[in-house]
Structure 1
């Protein structure tokens, strides 16, 4: 309710007062409140007029209220504040938990509240590194979506499954009873909602409620009682911490310094740092090295007395030798002594010692320092090598290496971390070609000049770490012209990195849905891409040894090369085809809108699951509509459900893309739609194989390119050559006309027209 109230206030606010619009780096008065309850209030935050920094929004305005329990609580308008940090530019607030519960009286789910939070007129951003979207419950699917402009729209879901109460485990939020997913950088608003097709009515006897919330990951520890009781709400008082980032204004450091009266870094010995969210997102102030305090206050950055600082280790190796300086310190040996007080010793001076001894002592100290440095470097190098070796072993590197050694012809390379850093300029942001909730993809050039795409994942579960070597064995066996080539991987890092061949023309999703106006790709090109994708999946199912199930077929996992040839990619959800009927998964993977309903019901992943997902891809090509659109009505939210409904009512033409209806006959489009319908059969055993799908698409592609007349018309005219220069051919061909077959000889001709017997 706090979030909803804040939204109402922000929507009604039309602008700051004229005096605040210009903004000024004002200073708080002595009477300003600096503490509320047990929370310190550092400037630029403040309570009341003249006590906080005015920037034209409500970022730094606070209120200190006494609640019914007699305690003082701090608020940023209707949001309760936990604490704030000037050094890190962060604010911790309370985020409301969104519950959805079963009502035993009505025998149905209560109405859900779609929580949303809009900070578009403030300089708050939700910290993507410290927060996670979390869903708790049984068979519960919830979504979080951004409130940015349509061009920056972000949406993801998280599903908590419950194969059985006995499988719940304290501290484990990996999909069983609890699910967590990352959020993208730069969010300044979000909305949370549950998918109503997935509710707790079937599990109400032991798990009556589901919960969805965006929270601080470090402050959350999953307990099994959160699923079976209301402890999650009760223990946290219906709210949990959330970390926000803040900044000053909407200018860069360079732009802000041009207006001295409004520049917020007023303290001497302070530095300005641009916001990490990019140009136009404001700036922060930090005290310079050797200083500490509040850079937003006059003389707020004071020298750190390193010699007496209780929060750090004594900086000199010899006690009593530290001398504080402005912005630093010196380690000076006392009078009558000499030596190195920084990292050595101070010894009493002896006038009788000759120059030879003094030089010898100096040389010995230098040798000692060099030796110690070398020993430390060797130790650090060995320690780093040990860490890399542990990561390599943890990710199944030894298994993969043995497999590579046993298969001499296996084209696969194990890259080092240094090689990939060199290829990407130490993972420079300028090399980023794609970002998502699960990681970042960089474009790089290897030492041998090969252009590659390097996928650097952000998170990895314990299951993924243990099975990574197995997945590499799966993907390394794939060698097909319509599948993205995997060059190798890097296993000596905490989260493994994959190195693929660089595909220049983006995804099929962008090709279909990226353009809102102008002509789309022709139908013949769509059939070609669909046929190539089907050939790739057919290869995985039928010709790979052992067979491979992709597990996440969708338009965003189909890339297009320079000739717009399809390349199937992203085998993060792939697995070997099960050999035992008892095999099943405990965490359903895939993408909403493409998931096989039989897979979600039985937890058994089969090759027919890929067939269902491909059917949705084929629908996108036929309709240019998205597989899942949460803004539509319930019956039109899923493209597959809407298609089957329209097809059953003989209204197919309403869904087809108008462009392809003008290019091809409706009979051909109906045949393609019928193929999609067969792929979307609820029972997997009724669906065709990918081999059969590929053969049918090949037939439709040829019909689309060469629309012959129907066989029963008695006439078949064939264009036997499309070369621009005259060429003669001789030989014979075999024609099938209706139920009869005839052998026809021809020769010395360029174009042949064949008239069948009347």
Structure 2
């Protein structure tokens, strides 16, 4: 009897550790508000640091809740008073609050509201969560933009064949939000203010009722944030007709200033953990604090004594104590049996971990990757299969302080391997789809070019697949070009070198690689800069390997506003000349220092490619060229590069040059530039009295030099260039 009792308790002790952690829903059973404070508004509990009425009931004015009735409900609802936004739910353990966010809905008769939605969180402790929100646009043949601080930070295109958004047969849960009727994109990091706008594909006006909104991912996808949600909130877009607001997630933290200027203090008991946070920081510095209850405890970690032991955890401890007492009085045979059970449990746990890794390996495309490895598509010699243990150690368990950046595909962390090598680890957001992850791994493993970022390996034994790249320290070209550092300025020589080397990388992909590769997302944010500011082409998630005989690739339109080939957009046929168009936009960026899409006031945007073409055709090139380029570059060289960019931006893809032509011409211009610089340096030393060059205004764009296919030679026979009078 004693032996059976002992075994029963041992089995309980072995089973309970694998129970899942408690969720935030259990907070209602514990202490959630300061003593003497009202913690209920209607049917919702208000947890501290949020609170109502008296200042001592909330941490700061930003967290004050106003409980009020609205016109459509008899029950009072909580509102964030500082932002006047209705609150749907609180998630203390995740540092999230769900609010109802306004929907931009032009040309909708029911509400007759064509105003642009403008939201500003006021520089407080709140930001729109990048991880838990999406920007959605719903409508027919529309361009949707999200703008912040005067800059366009995101956008997407929604297209309809039948021009009828009220199609009842369209269902979000089955069709997805992939550009037909509905499109989506990720939010930028640290978004605290924005305005959403819509314009037609064929003009600025919207012809049909359309919608643009930030929406919580848990209302679009069943992604495990709330396990009781297994259906889609927007199964049919007809629901939007009756909605003025949509659920969105705000991340928050207790700002350092609040702790300094308030009598409120974070708890320091042994059941909760408060740590530095960077929720509102754009410079990776500590701006506040967040708290969590330790494992096995639940409640409110922001109140002293707010974290209490869970019933399951308490029962487990009680049973463990009883088992220990009975075990001491048991025979040596019982102890031996206990040891046997422990060893059995340990073995079972190893098996479970192994099966879990195998499950993740298969789900993350491991079998597909093995198939491609066996077929020779993946260069095994240049890649490594890393373990999760290796990468956790390298990234300090994926510490937030190690985040290099976030994007639509995932988050990139800085890490250091055991051998001291610095790497970048990309943690994908695949949501069950692994094609982009496998595609990027396969393509990069085949490429050996100094201007393409190198892949070092991957890890497939995790819930989310991981890719490991060489670490590129100086960010991307977009940041460097548009937020210039006076200590290391973007000179004309540097712009010319970056353009030439990226052209060479694309030439390699299109013509020299064993099979042609179309990048499909050429943009300045995908051009990284190494320690010597040499460019590295990155982000091959949507790239494709093409058979040598193929002339184009027919796909769903994907790309980035401002860089997207108009011909591809209208035909869905991507060719190598589509990459040439996108490169032409990058070349125009380098010449002008302007962004591909920029706001020009009152909800209107300027497309750099169109404006650049217009300036060249109207002989106004130097009205748009960057002042530094004008000052440092020879006019003939600048005009030659501008004419080359103009040819790359031809609307008719057949008239665009190949990347081979582009590379040769840029190399020719760069060779001339180097030669001229060397001559000028020599003349400055030997002949200081030599006359200066003619001023810029004495030249005309119409009589400038243009790069063509024929070859001519300078007076110095060692320098060959490819120029001809326009």
- For 1:400, the equivalent position in structure 2 comes to 372
Structure 1 residues 513 and 622, CA gap change in structure 2 (3 angstroms): same
Give 1:36-55 correspondences, 5 Å limit. 36-49=41-54, 52-53=57-58, 55=60
**What secondary structure is seen at the aligned counterpart in 2 of 1:601?**
helix
Structure 1 position 267, deviation (Å)? 8.9
Contact 2:141 2:200 in 1 (8 A): no
Find the aligned partners of 1:594 and 1:646 in 2 and give their Cα distance. Answer: 18
- For 1:652, the equivalent position in structure 2 comes to 621
Residue 76 in structure 1 maps to residue 66 in structure 2: no
Residue 415 in structure 1 maps to residue 390 in structure 2: no
Contact 2:427 2:465 in 1 (8 A): yes
- For 1:14, the equivalent position in structure 2 comes to none
629-638 vs 609-618, which moves further: 629-638
Q: 1:363 aligns with which of 322, 336, 342?
A: 336
Q: Deviations over 1:211-232 (max 9, x none)?
A: 2211221123699997986332
Structure 1 residues 179 and 28, CA gap change in structure 2 (3 angstroms): same
Structure 1 position 574, deviation (Å)? 1.1
Find the aligned partners of 2:711 and 2:135 in 1 and give their Cα distance. Answer: 65
- For 2:155, the equivalent position in structure 1 comes to 157
Q: 1:134 aligns with which of 129, 133, 136?
A: 136
**What secondary structure is seen at the aligned counterpart in 1 of 2:240?**
helix
Q: Deviations over 1:50-86 (max 9, x none)?
A: 673262x242231323646533333333322223355
- For 1:170, the equivalent position in structure 2 comes to 173
Structure 2: gaps spanning 5 or more residues: 1-32, 223-230, 686-709, 719-726
**What secondary structure is seen at the aligned counterpart in 1 of 2:612?**
helix
**What secondary structure is seen at the aligned counterpart in 1 of 2:599?**
coil
Structure 1 position 583, deviation (Å)? 4.8
Contact 1:396 1:466 in 2 (8 A): no
Contact 1:512 1:624 in 2 (8 A): yes
Q: 1:188 aligns with which of 192, 199, 208?
A: 192
**What secondary structure is seen at the aligned counterpart in 2 of 1:553?**
coil
Structure 1: gaps spanning 5 or more residues: 1-25, 105-109, 317-321, 324-328, 341-345, 348-357, 709-715, 723-738, 751-758
Residue 506 in structure 1 maps to residue 511 in structure 2: no
Residue 543 in structure 1 maps to residue 547 in structure 2: no
Contact 2:528 2:536 in 1 (8 A): yes
435-444 vs 225-234, which moves further: 225-234
Find the aligned partners of 1:219 and 1:536 in 2 and give their Cα distance. Answer: 42
Find the aligned partners of 1:168 and 1:548 in 2 and give their Cα distance. Answer: 35
- For 2:241, the equivalent position in structure 1 comes to 233
Give 1:474-489 correspondences, 5 Å limit. 474-489=443-458
Contact 1:391 1:493 in 2 (8 A): no
Q: 1:379 aligns with which of 348, 351, 371?
A: 351
Residue 424 in structure 1 maps to residue 395 in structure 2: yes
Q: Deviations over 1:427-456 (max 9, x none)?
A: 344544334454332333445554433322
Find the aligned partners of 1:302 and 1:501 in 2 and give their Cα distance. Answer: 43
Contact 1:184 1:437 in 2 (8 A): no
Structure 1 position 683, deviation (Å)? 0.7
Structure 1 position 677, deviation (Å)? 0.9
Structure 1 residues 460 and 174, CA gap change in structure 2 (3 angstroms): farther
Contact 1:291 1:301 in 2 (8 A): no
User: TM-score scaled to structure 1, two decimals?
Assistant: 0.72
Structure 1 residues 611 and 361, CA gap change in structure 2 (3 angstroms): closer
- For 1:319, the equivalent position in structure 2 comes to none
Find the aligned partners of 2:667 and 2:516 in 1 and give their Cα distance. Answer: 23
Greater C-alpha Rg: 1
User: TM-score scaled to structure 2, two decimals?
Assistant: 0.75
Find the aligned partners of 2:611 and 2:272 in 1 and give their Cα distance. Answer: 60
The number of residues matched between the two structures is: 637
Find the aligned partners of 1:43 and 1:196 in 2 and give their Cα distance. Answer: 45
Residue 64 in structure 1 maps to residue 73 in structure 2: no
**What secondary structure is seen at the aligned counterpart in 2 of 1:455?**
strand
Contact 1:102 1:200 in 2 (8 A): no
Give 1:177-326 correspondences, 5 Å limit. 177-197=181-201, 208-220=208-220, 230-234=238-242, 237-251=243-257, 261-263=263-265, 265=267, 272-275=274-277, 277=279, 281-284=287-290, 293-294=299-300, 301=306, 304=309, 309=311, 312=312, 315-316=315-316
- For 1:13, the equivalent position in structure 2 comes to none
Q: 2:560 aligns with which of 575, 584, 591?
A: 591
Find the aligned partners of 1:288 and 1:483 in 2 and give their Cα distance. Answer: 44
Find the aligned partners of 1:95 and 1:196 in 2 and give their Cα distance. Answer: 24
Q: 2:426 aligns with which of 434, 446, 455?
A: 455
Structure 1 residues 69 and 199, CA gap change in structure 2 (3 angstroms): farther
Find the aligned partners of 2:320 and 2:334 in 1 and give their Cα distance. Answer: 22
Find the aligned partners of 1:681 and 1:63 in 2 and give their Cα distance. Answer: 59
Find the aligned partners of 2:436 and 2:418 in 1 and give their Cα distance. Answer: 29
Q: 1:98 aligns with which of 104, 115, 119?
A: 104
Find the aligned partners of 2:517 and 2:458 in 1 and give their Cα distance. Answer: 19
Contact 1:549 1:576 in 2 (8 A): yes
- For 1:113, the equivalent position in structure 2 comes to 115
Structure 1 residues 421 and 38, CA gap change in structure 2 (3 angstroms): closer
**What secondary structure is seen at the aligned counterpart in 2 of 1:99?**
coil
Find the aligned partners of 1:280 and 1:563 in 2 and give their Cα distance. Answer: 30
Residue 433 in structure 1 maps to residue 431 in structure 2: no
Find the aligned partners of 2:543 and 2:530 in 1 and give their Cα distance. Answer: 22
**What secondary structure is seen at the aligned counterpart in 1 of 2:506?**
helix
596-605 vs 529-538, which moves further: 529-538
- For 2:702, the equivalent position in structure 1 comes to none
Find the aligned partners of 1:61 and 1:680 in 2 and give their Cα distance. Answer: 53
Contact 2:598 2:606 in 1 (8 A): yes
494-503 vs 641-650, which moves further: 494-503
Q: Deviations over 1:75-110 (max 9, x none)?
A: 333322223355555432211222234789xxxxx8
Q: Deviations over 1:486-506 (max 9, x none)?
A: 333333334433333333443
Structure 1 residues 380 and 568, CA gap change in structure 2 (3 angstroms): same
541-550 vs 464-473, which moves further: 464-473
Contact 2:580 2:657 in 1 (8 A): yes
Find the aligned partners of 1:455 and 1:66 in 2 and give their Cα distance. Answer: 45
**What secondary structure is seen at the aligned counterpart in 2 of 1:100?**
coil
